[in-house]
Structure 1
Amino acid sequence: MITSASVDPLIPPLRINKFLIELIAEISETPTDQVAFQFKQEHTDLGGSVRRAMAEKGIQFYEWSSELEQFYASTDAFLYETLVWNRSGLKNEMRSWIGEYLAKVSTAPQRVLTFGDGLGIDAYYLAQLGHEVTYFEISQQCAEFARRIFERGNLQVTMLDTPEQLEPNSFDAVICLDVLEHVPDPLSLVGWLSSNLRDSGKLFIHAPFHYLHPAVTTHLRSNRRYSGDLHTLYAPHGLFPVDGQLFWNPIVFEKSESAKPRRLPRQLQIGSFLLGIGKHWSTPHNLVAQMLINTKRLAAMVEEG
């Protein structure tokens, strides 16, 4: 196993602007100069590509619809949004934290599923650390991007065409970051994720349900009620919180067949209270999120690589 301290969570492909622009242009079949313009624009307005594309198609923000479902399958806007998000300070801190946590759990490589992993950045990082990684993403364009960077890095990552290919109770860890707030039935999805974990396996979640903002117009208003809730989505599936960051970026649940009372870590208790406020009033939370993302740093990255 390679130590997480020796692997940069800002993985090598994310550092080369020219490579990223040319890859998006090839996958999306869009002229390079047009991609370069949108690439730069997204770094100064995270989420802008998706917001503008939704507005052009007349898709209502923050609401689930058949039009939104089709949008996920067809748009190239997520190539820009997920790319820039994965270059942000907040996402890189999460990625590093997960790597360090897995190293604490076991010194041996673990079998890990990255579900809804977009461009495959988390899978790439965890494979670099020596874990046995399986990747799944519904967007075909994002999956093609992931396949290209796995090949470029000479990484052995299993890519699934459909989640039905998975064998239940077979993973030591499942990583599901920034997915639940987008889906119309997060309870069912959490149940399915849990079914793929072995007993005592860990589920890593980041789901800012409270975050309704122009940067994230595909977050669903109907899911806001889950902000700060540690039980509704997880306890019915034998998942219990065991660790995590203050604002649950991320939070870790353990699957347990024996539902024993557990002491909740103090930072998760405080986080539950603070995020619970976000069900009704999320303006302070949104300001903190923007600060942690560090948009000034993102804008500077356009000029560096």
Structure 2
Amino acid sequence: MSRENFKPIAIEAPSKNPGLFRIRCWVDLQLASVAKPLRSALQDLRGRVLDIGAGQSPWRDWLGPEATYHGLDVQSASEYGMQQQADITYYDGTVMPFDHASFDAAFCIEVLEHVPNPEFFVAEIARILKPDAKLVLSVPWSARRHHIPYDFHRFTRERLESLFASHGFVEIDIQERGNDIATIASKCVVVAMRLVKPAQMRSYIWTLPMALLWAPIACILLGLAHLSFIVPIGAKEDPLGYFVTARRAA
């Protein structure tokens, strides 16, 4: 098993420190590409809403006043760098501990790639959702391996559509998060961070000079990436990930 030298940082609620969250979204393009569509999608949810793979519950504040938050995560959440929360239901990752048609909506953010059996997982989501319930989901595509050894999948647009359609979801809308420019910029930022913080202190002799040369390139690419979120430049075939909305069939 390879060692994970650059581990993902757990996401905290944007409301906890809005300024810091904006800065992180500028540097972390994966997070930025999730946050923008997620905020408006969550505000549209109503009734009992389940956060699947809740982690630190960073997105609960974005739910509207007509939504009641419920969280679900695996018992091994601490292995993903998450602290257990008092109002989250923890389970073994197999059958979700809820009755059929228990929820009016659900969201699942950057979790599906860590699920060993996505077919069973999506079938469980369909089971616990009411007819016509809305599902909001995101997955990475062009992302480094993370939370090793629990990174199992990368999903294409075609695979996502087939997966959800086969388990009773309709009105499946899949949007690319970012493009090839954002993907290149994201990887350049990771390289810069690894140069600034090498695995061994003695490596600073060569990593620090490289970081000083690399940092301006990464900053320029970051600016181009954020521009590409606004101006239609860049290819969609190599996005950072996908953002999915779907509805449970009536």
TM class, shorter-chain normalised? 0.5 to 0.7
Tell me the percent identity: 19
Equivalent AA in structure 1 for residue 164 of structure 2: Y
| Deviation sequence 1:103-160 (CA, Å, 0-9, x none) | 446xxx421100111111123443x75520110111354664534xxxxxxxxxx421
Aligned residue identity for 1:81: I
Asked whether the 8 Å contact 2:145–2:151 carries over to 1, the reply is: no
The structural deviation recorded for 1:194 is 1.2
In structure 2, C-alpha distance between the alignment counterparts of 1:207 and 1:243, rounded to whole Å: 13
| Whole-angstrom CA distance in 2 between matches of 1:240 and 1:195 | 14
Unaligned 5+ residue runs, structure 1?
1-49, 54-76, 148-157, 250-273, 275-282, 298-305
> What amino acid is the match of 1:171?
F
State the partner residue of 1:202. 134
The answer for the alignment partner of 1:169 in structure 2 is 101
Given that 1:211 and 1:219 are in contact with CA atoms closer than 8 Å, whether structure 2 keeps it comes out as: no
Where do 1:226-237 residues align within 5 Å? 226-229=155-158, 230-237=160-167
Residue identity in the other structure for 1:237: H
How does the TM-score come out when normalised to structure 2?
Answer: 0.53
Give the root-mean-square deviation of aligned CA atoms. 3.9
Query: Relative contact order (C-alpha < 8 Å, sep 6+): which is higher?
Result: 2
| TM-score (norm: length of structure 1) | 0.45
More strand by share: 2
The SS at the match of 1:211 is coil
- Identify the residue that residue 122 of structure 1 maps to in structure 2: 59
1:133 equivalent to 2:72? Answer no
Alignment partner, residue 88 of structure 2? 159
Give the aligned partner of residue 41 of structure 2: 101
Q: Partners in 2 of 1:241 and 1:91 — Cα distance?
A: 25
- Which residue of 1 is the match for residue 184 of structure 2? 287
Q: Which has the higher helix share?
A: 1
Tell me, in whole angstroms, the C-alpha distance in 2 between the residues paired with 1:167 and 1:112: 14
Answer with 83-92 or 183-192: which moved more: 83-92
2:9 alignment partner, one of 65, 69, 81: 81
| Structure 2 counterpart of 1:231, one-letter code | E
Aligned mates of 2:58, 2:12 — CA distance in 1:
11
What residue identity is the alignment partner of 1:202? K
Q: Which residue is equivalent to 2:233?
A: none
Structure 2 match to 1:91: 31
Q: 1:116 to 1:292 in 2, by over 3 A?
A: farther
How far did 1:179 drift? 1.0
Q: Where does structure 2 lack aligned partners over 5 or more consecutive residues?
A: 15-20, 194-217, 220-250
